[in-house]
Amino acid sequence: MKYLIVGLGNPGEQYSETRHNIGFKTLDALASASNVVFTPARYGDVASLKHKGRNLILLKPSTFMNLSGNAVRYWMQQEKIPVERVMIITDDLSLPFGKIRIRAKGSDGGHNGLKSVQEQIGGSHYPRMRFGVGNDFQPGQQVNYVLAPWTKEESDALDERLKMIGDAILSFSSIGLERTMNFYNNK
């Protein structure tokens, strides 16, 4: 059984340590812990991870955030993965730093990456995991905030949170979305 796990972010070194790239950072941590390597492919960097008889295709789109849906649609079609076995990982300004929220569906919440995914796959009924990056910014400074690097405090706490997100991704593929939501949404 195949799953598509998509970490949203922007390609390029200048974005690698920014809040907006938590999707990429999550997949990098999971790949490293699983001893798998990303390789360049169409619409992004891809790695394949085996877990409990499941094949997880990890995707970091190279399309930039606003066009992420193109990569998601292509890899869903290429690998013949139904929408219920897709997980999109993204940042969320409305959650405190480090809090995760897993949902089976929902709005894009003003997130351009999620908006692109919804446009390209034809709806908002797809699993997603939002990682809280907080909202410590002045009015009108949202873009600067998400494209800024982590603070030292955030950076120090990130490894532990990334491990938990990785565990939640593996849980999604092995015990399903509902049980994963019940276990991880309150952590």
Q: Which of 20, 51, 111, 125 is catalytic?
A: 20
Q: In this structure, are residues 101 and 130 in contact, taking their beta carbons and an 8 Å threshold?
A: yes
Q: In this structure, are residues 147 and 160 in contact, taking their beta carbons and an 8 Å threshold?
A: no
Strand partners, 55: 2, 50
CA pair distance 29, 120, nearest whole angstrom: 27
Give the type of residue at 139.
P
CA pair distance 159, 155, nearest whole angstrom: 8
Q: State the chain's maximal CA–CA distance in angstroms.
A: 47
Catalytic status, residue 111 = no
Catalytic residue positions? Answer: 20
